[in-house]
Structure 1
Amino acid sequence: MLNFKINEELCIRCGKCITDCPPMCISMQEGDFPVIQDENNCMLCQHCLAVCPTGAISIMGADPADSIELQYELPTAHSMETLIKGRRSIRKYKKNALDEKIITRLLETAFHAPTGVNAQGVLFTATTTAEATEKLRKEIYAKVGKLLENCDYDKDDLRFQYMNMAYKAYTNHNVDVILRGAPHILIASAPKTIPLPKEDCIIALSTFDLFAQTMGVGTLWNGMLKWCVDDFFPELATRLGVPEDHEIGYCMVFGSPAVQYKRTVQRKPGALNFVNSF
């Protein structure tokens, strides 16, 4: 039940909700107010609520008065450019865990990331305590040690080369290369049945990554963790609560950074391919 409602006192019948509806399921007859004829066609995107200039539309129980007004809240181009260029991968973390309210805010905001056909199927699996992450860290290295000892692996396989390096660093020098000493891990997964599970996860994590920087939270895209919970030890993902019918898109670690960067870096010009005619 969409519960699509029009506040007739506010509606000016401008038709913007109709022209901006992706599945074109909103219509308006002459002299009437907007209606949804077939609710099965609705994508649940709430574009109608967002585009209405007077806040006259409510759908799925969402009150437009509870939404954030965009006119004065969007960042400037300069601040976004600084955020993107100034964001760094964090490989040194403070041991203390983040407040769970901060983690929840980060994840709930990142859930607003776009998904293919608005599937909204991404599941975030995160450790909320440093103790849980430490227990996972110890188990990962124990499993890596057994894997390297008992597996007849291809010496040219980069995954095993990195795992061998990480295991030696941990056992010989107590240096955590896989989780980088971070107090939290994050796994993004999505049902294999949706159109773009992997891509949706990557987009969601990218959104999380950028928002985290604004809250003083450091992040690291973590391919080695993905190898562990996806390629080598999928039972760990199951124990963490990742459904078996999900595809893991990618993984991160995050927490309070133990290093602060003071300026952006200067990279070579980007690879750009401009097409002026076709």
Structure 2
Amino acid sequence: MELITIDQEKCIQCGACVKECPSFVLSMGRTGPEIAAAQSCIACGHCVAICPQAAIDYKKTPLSKQLELADYPQLNAKESELFLRSRRSIRSYLEKAVPREELVKLVNIARFAPTASNSQSISYVIIDDRKILDASVEIVIDKLESDNTLKQRFTHYLNEYHENGVDVILRNAPSLILATADMNFPRGRENSIFSLAYLELYAPTLGLGSCWAGILEVLALDIKSPLLKLFHIPEGRKITGAVMAGYPQYKYKRLVERNPLNVDFYEEI
């Protein structure tokens, strides 16, 4: 297959593929779109996805691997608002393991999140071994106690851990999902935030809850963190995000309000 192929019988030369190409890879020729700068392609798939006639095929994003959206039921504005606002950070979980096939569904949806210049490059590690999860909690607690600045910042959490036996790090979640990237990849953190946000929004559809493991990240994001060894992160890679997941112990009944919207339009005087 050539890098780009055009079905001349289907192509109506509307130019949508050319106009929507973010990297100006395509140009409109006499008989249809042509490659203008192949080296600039970021394999986003826009050209194939937008064609109203399914007339263009691209080796990097084949038509055969794209999903038809013609019959996809779109959420209306109110449904979308309720869906997005109903996401909560879950910190109380049932003592119930999440089947691995469900965890795979979570990370599978995460890979479809937008990334800088379609760089993607995020891999995932899932930990559902209770002994490893407990060991990670102890490592993080030791770090918080050995660092005076962190100890002062998290005094209340440390008290809850020691005095009341509360797992303030992972909240007894049965699963921890880590995003990882190459050590030298500059967009790892940003791409992971988008990816794990997708995962969090998708989790309730599987009956799951999630929460960013923010305190664990204090240590996990350090490229010299002992958690890298504990979690068997391959050499040359770094942890770029951490989210706990499990079945919620409670169900939220209401949507919580946020601070009032603060927005301005700039108009030149």
User: Would you call these one fold, judging by a TM-score over 0.5?
Assistant: yes
Query: Compared with structure 1, are the counterparts of its residues 46 and 162 closer, same or farther at alpha carbon in structure 2 (3 Å cutoff)?
Result: farther
Whether 2:263 is the aligned partner of 1:276: answer no
What amino acid is aligned across from residue 94 of structure 2 in structure 1? Answer: K
- TM-score norm. by structure 1 comes to 0.83
Q: 1:144, 1:167 within 8 Å by CA — same for their partners in 2?
A: no
C-alpha RMSD of matched pairs (Å): 2.8
What amino acid is aligned across from residue 40 of structure 2 in structure 1? Answer: N
Question: Match of 1:5?
Answer: 5
Superposed CA offset, 1:19-78 (max 9, x none): 111111112321x23232442211111010111112222222623574140563332221
Give the whole-Å Cα distance in 1 for the aligned partners of 2:92 and 2:34.
Answer: 54
Q: 1:11, 1:54 within 8 Å by CA — same for their partners in 2?
A: yes
Give the whole-Å Cα distance in 2 for the aligned partners of 1:159 and 1:2.
Answer: 58
Question: Match of 1:103?
Answer: 103
Give the whole-Å Cα distance in 2 for the aligned partners of 1:233 and 1:70.
Answer: 49
What amino acid is aligned across from residue 106 of structure 2 in structure 1? Answer: L
Q: 1:230, 1:237 within 8 Å by CA — same for their partners in 2?
A: no
Question: Match of 2:131?
Answer: 135
By how many angstroms is 1:9 displaced?
Answer: 3.3
Query: Compared with structure 1, are the counterparts of its residues 193 and 69 closer, same or farther at alpha carbon in structure 2 (3 Å cutoff)?
Result: same
What amino acid is aligned across from residue 176 of structure 1 in structure 2? Answer: D
Query: Compared with structure 1, are the counterparts of its residues 218 and 42 closer, same or farther at alpha carbon in structure 2 (3 Å cutoff)?
Result: same
Q: 1:219, 1:255 within 8 Å by CA — same for their partners in 2?
A: yes
SS at match of 1:234: coil
By how many angstroms is 1:180 displaced?
Answer: 0.9
Question: Match of 1:229?
Answer: 220
What amino acid is aligned across from residue 133 of structure 2 in structure 1? Answer: R
Question: Match of 1:257?
Answer: 248
SS at match of 1:106: helix
Match of 2:207 among 201, 216, 232: 216
Question: Match of 1:25?
Answer: 25
How many pairs align? Answer: 267
Give the whole-Å Cα distance in 1 for the aligned partners of 2:90 and 2:216.
Answer: 15
Superposed CA offset, 1:157-192 (max 9, x none): 5455366335415xxx44322111111101223335
Superposed CA offset, 1:221-273 (max 9, x none): 11112124234972322442434544433311011111111221233423x13
Q: 2:223, 2:238 within 8 Å by CA — same for their partners in 1?
A: no
What amino acid is aligned across from residue 28 of structure 1 in structure 2? Answer: M
Question: Match of 2:49?
Answer: 50
Give the whole-Å Cα distance in 2 for the aligned partners of 1:2 and 1:234.
Answer: 46
Structure 2: give runs of 5+ residues left out of the alignment.
none
Give the whole-Å Cα distance in 2 for the aligned partners of 1:158 and 1:203.
Answer: 31
Structure 1: give runs of 5+ residues left out of the alignment.
none
Match of 1:189 among 156, 180, 191: 180
Question: Match of 1:164?
Answer: 158
- TM-score norm. by structure 2 comes to 0.85
Q: Percent identity?
A: 31
Q: Which region of structure 1 is more displaced relative to structure 2, 138-147 or 109-118?
A: 138-147
